[in-house]
Amino acid sequence: MNGIKHTVGIMITVICITILAFGLIRLTPGDPVLLMIGERGSDPIQYQKVATQLGLDKSITEQYQNFLSQAVQGNFGTSVVSSRPVKEELLARWPATIELGLFAMLLSLLIGIPAGIIAAVYRRRIADYVVTISSLVGYSMPIFWWGLVLILIFSVTLDLTPVSGRLDILYDIEPHTGFMLIDSLLSNAREEYQLDAFASALHHLLLPGIVMATVPIAVFARITRSSMLEVLSEDYIRTARAKGLSEFRVIMFHAFRNALIPIITIGGLFFVSTVVAGAILTETIFGWPGIGNYIVSSVYARDYPVIQACILVIGMLVIIVNMTTEYLYRLVNPRMRH
Amino acid sequence: MKLSNKFIQIFLAGLLTSPIAYASENIVYCSEGSPESFNPQKILSGTGRNATSLTIYNRLLEFEPGTTNVIPSLATSWDISGDKTEYTFKLRKGVQFHQTAYFKPTREFNADDVIFSINRQLDLKHPYHLVGGGAYQYFQGMGMHNLIESVEKVDNYTVKIKLNKPEAPFISNMAMPFMSILSEEYAAQLANLGRKENIDTLPVGTGPFKYRRYLKDSVIRYNAHASYWQGKTAIDNLIFSITPDASVRYQKLKKGECDIAVYPSPADIASIQKNEKLELRELDGLNIGYLAMNTEKPPFNNLSVRRAIAHALDKQSYINAIYLGKAKPAINPYPSTVWSYHEDIDTYEYNPQKARQLLKEAGFDKGFKTTLWTLPVSRPFNPNGRKMGELMQQDLAKVGIEVELVTYDWGTYLDKVKRGEHDIVQLGWTGDNGDPDNFLYTLFSCDSVDRGSNNSRYCQKSFDSLIKTARSESDRKKREALYQKALQIFSHDVPVIPIAHAKVYRALRNTVSGYIMDPFDVDHFYNLEVINK
């Protein structure tokens, strides 16, 4: 019964997302065709041509039906700017976003969780205050400003990192997978540049990765801390200690494992917001050629089919991640399995 | 364990790698966006022009870098028939197309390439017309589809273009990016392979650089075209590093990650000027920000009222506050980089007293109430319409005109202006081909009142006849005289008040030589060299 309810819930959400993706653009004031032809002074033939091209000459219900039937087949129409299929344009840009997103995720897990554990174990001691205050600052950091400050300090003043881009301009690497770390290790690139190109790709990931990971690090640290504090006061921890287990074993195997549940839930959700929301700002600052950057330039160029497809795809991604998170949650917590 | 050690080593190497000095034969250009296509026929943006028409392609005629003058390029000369409707172009011999990984040309450039390039856009039944959507916005926007009757091959190196009517700006249009010459042989090869759409993504041209690779939104790589007809460029590789944020472009420039940066942010300009390693270049842009009065509506159908408003506005204060000094006060409807610019006209200095006097003469001793529409979007020719509107409101209040500021979303704004619903409206124009006709005919001809951008709805017979005569006259000197007369009438009638020409800027490292600023706000790469300083 629960399963059916769950599926219906998902279906409703999916339909809402399609209506949102479809409707948002049509709710924005102004005639999109006129906006597109713009200042050059439109002639009626050109107007009609663009309207037909966008399917805007049909009724709203017809447009929605077309949009749905095409989207189900993975066809999101043609980009107004490039005249190429939107699907192709999106596929070409996902690897960059995923690469950066995974790297940022890795950073936030590696830094955020240990910081949270330390803060919980050394509660109300200096380490705890440092973690709590830094995570508060990190969480409230305006990302755009933070990115520019890091560029100024690490790239321009200290000359430690590159300002922007995915790879040093010197390395001319043929794209195969779109993941720079992988492409730089593939045969041709490897032969020509050994591991230098790979090192350069990693080097370029560092600053945008840190910027993108800033908020998630803070969130992970806070969640881990509060979750650990709760668990550490449980009776079974006292029992574990009484059995004479080492403090490390108590914390890592007894406390941390049980503290993981909220971390996974939040982590799953944050992965999406890291990849999407973070990507929009981070990618714009660092000239990172991913989806976030593409959404921004499409909004500026009023490339409606692209914006529509992005809302839809990202919406779907959130649903998928939520479902996966739920699954993981059940895996970690046996009580939730039934 | 060993593997993780290796990984740490590489990671640290990555961290500590200092930026490698660029080989001297490379120029890295920090552009602000990605080209919409690699076919200049399908491009509207300045970014796209730089990435295609100025690197990969040539046209029969070109704009002389840094000016709006038209000079021969793939055509060596042209003749115009007596009735001015037939243009016969003599083509250059010995011009090679690019040899790339995906195309090896077997013949040199000839008339077939010209016919292919024009007919793809003109002929609705052309096998390539619908490839990539069939929209050729610039070709159609400039009215070429109605103007060109046919393109004929006289012999391998002679092409005749017949027009439906005489039109002098046709020559300037021939130098615009959308008239770039593509390879007909390449198109035929792609058609055989069933991959026609590649013509717009894997380009082949005759220009100084050949396409090598494009990583979307990231990098475009070009190699020098070794057998370029004007001789190989001094640099071997040209790299576009796509960097949308202006502050980041500036940081990259400072660090040497790029050699030239487009559109520096106004906030960084002072700091660029102070930096010894950098150089800031500026030029009046090919644009005009203006205030149009609806001459069909009272009281703006009264000449004295329009002149009073012109005297009431303190243009310099707008330039200081809105353009942060990065613009020049305008007196003509186009900047001095366009030929036939005329200084000897009525200029309407800021003089509120005179304005009040003129209003009195017009019978508005106590002023009047009106609306002023402020530009809802930011454009180079008017970066902040609302703020400028507030300043104008204060200026006009001083002479007794009570102004209510109005604005709409951009689409509605354009639509309502087109219908003539406005009183006074802020708008602007950016020139396409550097021809005075592109400003005067588009913005002030009687024809453009209902279809076009004549936003003051100004239709004055003697002015209209002058610009129409100039339009069909091919002698540049005669045209210049006609335009200067037209400008006299324009400045007397003052249907719009020209406010400012925004300047365009580029920042470069001082190791780059041969850079030419261009009024079209595009970049020329052919003459670039890297020098050691």
Q: Taking 60 as the threshold, does the pLDDT of residue A298 lie above it?
A: yes
For A32, the domain range is 2-72
Contact check, Cβ <8 Å, A287/B10 = no
Does some domain include residue A213? yes
* Among A17, A38, A72, residue at a domain's last position: A72
**Contacts for A170 with CB less than 8 Å, ≥ 6 apart:** B20, B22, B23
Q: What is the token pair recorded at A51?
A: 């309207």
Extract the tokens encoding A165: 């881009």
Taking CA atoms, what residue in B is nearest to A303? B36
The answer on A251 and A110 residing in a single domain is yes
Helix, strand or coil for residue B324?
coil
Which of the four pLDDT bands, split at 50, 70 and 90, describes residue B17?
very low
In this structure, are A54 and A169 located in the same domain? no
Residues in chain A closer than 8 A to B213 (CB atoms): 172, 174
Q: Are A274 and A338 in contact (CB under 8 A)?
A: no
Q: What is the mean pLDDT of chain B?
A: 90
- Cα–Cα distance for residue pair B398/B393, rounded to 1 Å: 9
Both tokens assigned to B271? 């700091």
pLDDT band at A42 (very low <50, low <70, confident <90, very high): low
Q: Which of B16, B215, B244 sits opposite A175 (nearest CB)?
A: B215
Q: Decide if A49 and B135 are in contact by the 8 Å CB cutoff.
A: yes
Do the domain assignments include residue A58?
yes
Q: What is the pLDDT of residues B180-196, one digit of tens each?
A: 999 999 999 999 999 99
- How far, in Å, CA of A16 to CA of A325, rounded? 21
Beta strands in chain A (DSSP E): none
Residues in chain A: 338
- For residue A56, the model assigns a pLDDT of 79
Q: Does residue B15 have a pLDDT over 60? A: no
Q: In this model, does residue B19 exceed pLDDT 60?
A: no
| Nearby residues of B344 by Cβ (< 8 Å), 6 or more positions away | none
* Section A277-298 average pLDDT: 86
Of A31, A78, A206, the CB nearest to B15: A206
**Nearest CA-CA distance, residue B220 and chain A, Å:** 10
Q: State whether A125 and A238 are in the same domain.
A: yes
| Residue A78 belongs to a domain | no
Residue B6 pLDDT > 90, yes or no?
Answer: no
Q: Select the residue of B216, B245, B410 nearest A285 (Cβ to Cβ).
A: B245
pLDDT digits (tens, 9 = 90+) for B101-120: 999 999 999 999 999 999 99
**Residue B249 to residue B45: CA distance in whole angstroms:** 19
Does the pLDDT at position B383 exceed 60?
yes
Q: Check residue A175 and give its pLDDT.
A: 85
Mutate to test the interface with A, among B136, B218, B409 (most CBs of A within 10 A): B218
Q: Which of B200, B215, B415 lies closest to A34 in CB terms?
A: B415
Give the closest of A31, A50, A93 to B217, CB-based.
Answer: A93
pLDDT for the residue numbered A335: 67
Same domain, A16 and A100: no
A53 shares its domain with A119: no
State how many domains chain A has.
2
B404, burial (CB in 10 Å: exposed 0-12, middle 13-18, buried 19+): exposed
What's the whole-number mean pLDDT along residues B70-92?
A: 95
Contact A186, A324 (CB under 8 A): no
User: Would you give the distance in Å from CA B460 to the centre of its chain?
Assistant: 28
For chain B, give the number of residues.
Answer: 533
For residues B420-456, b (16+ Cβ closer than 10 Å) or e, as one string? bebbbbbbbbbbbbbbbbbbbbbbbbbebbeebbbbb
- In this prediction, residue B77 has a pLDDT band, given cuts at 50, 70 and 90, of very high
Do A149 and A298 fall within a single domain? yes
* A vs B: CB pairs below 8 A: 157
Contacts of B254 in chain A (CB under 8 A): 156
Q: What is the distance in angstroms between the Cα of A13 and the nearest Cα belonging to chain B?
A: 31
Please indicate whether residue B395 or residue A258 has the higher confidence score (pLDDT).
B395
Q: What is the mean pLDDT of residues B480-488?
A: 95
Chain B residues with beta carbon closer than 8 angstroms to that of A297: 33-34, 217, 244
Asked whether the beta carbons of residue A34 and residue B216 sit closer than 8 angstroms, the reply is: no
- How far apart are the C-alpha atoms of B25 and A338, rounded to whole Å? 68
Token pair 């993941």 in the structure block, residue: A179
Measure Cα distances from A232 to A132, A163, A332, B110 in Å. Answer: 18, 43, 18, 83
Query: Is A283 within 8 Å of A256 (Cβ atoms)?
Result: no
- To test the contact with chain A by mutation, choose from B255, B414, B416, B419 the residue with the greatest count of A C-beta atoms within 10 A, namely B414
Give the CATH fold of the B287-503 domain. Dipeptide-binding Protein; domain 3 (3.10.105)
Distance CA B38, CA B199 (A): 8
From the number of C-beta atoms within 10 Å of its C-beta (0-12, 13-18, 19+), residue B357 rates as middle
C-alpha A144/C-alpha B110 separation (Å) is 52
Q: How far apart are CA A22 and CA A71, in angstroms?
A: 11
Q: Is residue A234 part of a domain?
A: yes
Strand-pair partners of B372: B405, B424
Q: Are A132 and A229 members of one domain?
A: yes
Domain co-membership, A164 together with A27:
no
Residue A92 and residue A66 share a domain: no
Task: Evaluate whether B222 touches B60 at the Cβ level (below 8 Å).
Answer: no
B57-187 has which CATH code?
3.90.76.10
Q: How far is B359 from chain A (nearest CA, A)?
A: 33
- Taking only residues 76 to 95 of chain A, the set having a beta carbon closer than 8 angstroms to any beta carbon of chain B reads 78, 81-84, 89, 92-93
Q: A89 and B216 in contact by Cβ < 8 A?
A: yes
> How does strand B158-163 pair with strand B209-215?
unpaired
Residue A248 has pLDDT above 90, yes or no: no
Residue of B nearest to A31 (CA): B411
Residue A30 at interface with chain B, using a CB cutoff of 8 Å = yes
A162 and A68 in a single domain? The answer is no
**Is B213 in Cβ contact with A174 (below 8 Å)?**
yes
Type of residue found at B423: D
Measure the CA–CA gap between B421 and B425, rounded to whole angstroms.
10
Backbone angles phi, psi at B243, to 5 degrees: -135, 95
Cβ within 8 Å of B, A 257-276: none
Which residue from A40, A84, A164 is facing B243, i.e. has the nearest CB?
A164
pLDDT band at residue B166 using 50, 70 and 90 as cut-offs: very high
Q: Identify whether residues A103 and A27 lie together within a single domain.
A: no
C-beta separation of B105 from B99 below 8 A: yes
Out of A32, A41, A151, closest to residue B452 by CB: A41
What would the CATH number be for the domain defined by B22-55+207-277+510-533?
3.40.190.10
Asked if the structure places residue A195 within a domain, the reply is: yes
Residue A203 to residue B17, Cβ atoms within 8 A: yes
Cβ-Cβ contacts under 8 Å, A89 against chain B: 216
Q: Which residues of chain A lie closer than 8 angstroms to B10, CB-CB?
A: 195, 198-199, 202
pLDDT value for B50? 92
| Domain boundaries, given as residue ranges, for chain B | 22-55+207-277+510-533, 57-187, 287-503
* Domain contains A82: no
The mean pLDDT of chain A is 84
Is-contact B459 B473, C-beta < 8 A? no
Whether the CB-CB separation of A283 and A97 falls below 8 Å is answered with yes
DSSP string computed for A37-76 = HGGG---HHHHHHHHHHHTTTS-HHHHHHHHHHHHHTT--
CB-CB contact of A20 with A315 (8 Å): yes
- Domain with residue A303: its CATH number is 1.10.3720.10
Chain A: residue nearest B21 by CA? A170
Q: Which of A44, A72, A100 is the last residue of a domain?
A: A72
Residues B33, B45 contacting (CB under 8 angstroms): yes
Would residue A136 be called left, alpha or beta, if left means φ above 0 and alpha means ψ between -120 and 50 degrees? alpha
For an interface test with A, the pick among B215, B220, B377, B447 (most A C-beta atoms closer than 10 Å) comes out as B215
Mean pLDDT of B282-308: 93
- State residue A337's pLDDT score: 57
pLDDT in tens, A234-247: 888 888 888 888 88
Q: Cβ contacts (< 8 Å) between B22 and chain A: which residues?
A: 169-170
* pLDDT at res. B23: 44
Could you write out the DSSP letters of every residue in B263-312?
A: S--GGGHHHHHH-TTEEEEEEE-SEEEEEEE-TTSTTTTSHHHHHHHHHH
Q: What is the ipTM of this complex?
A: 0.79
Q: Which two tokens stand for residue B22?
A: 């660029």
Which residues does residue B91 pair with via DSSP β-bridges, in sequence order? B75
* Per-residue pLDDT, A37: 61
pLDDT at residue B18, as a whole number? 41
Distance CA B162, CA B148 (A): 6
Which residue of chain B comes nearest to A297, CA vs CA?
B33
Which string of b and e fits A275-300 if b means at least 16 CB within 10 Å? bbbbbbbbbbbbbbbbbbbbbbbbee
- CA A136 → CA A119, A129, A132, A133, distances in Å? 13, 10, 6, 5
More confident residue, B244 or A117: A117
Q: How open is the CA angle A320-A324-A329, to the nearest 5 degrees?
A: 150
Range B225-248 average pLDDT: 92
**B414:A38 CB<8 A:** yes
One domain for residues A222 and A290: yes
Q: Which residues of chain B make contact with A159, given a CB cutoff of 8 A?
A: 18-19, 255
The predicted pLDDT at position A321 comes to 80
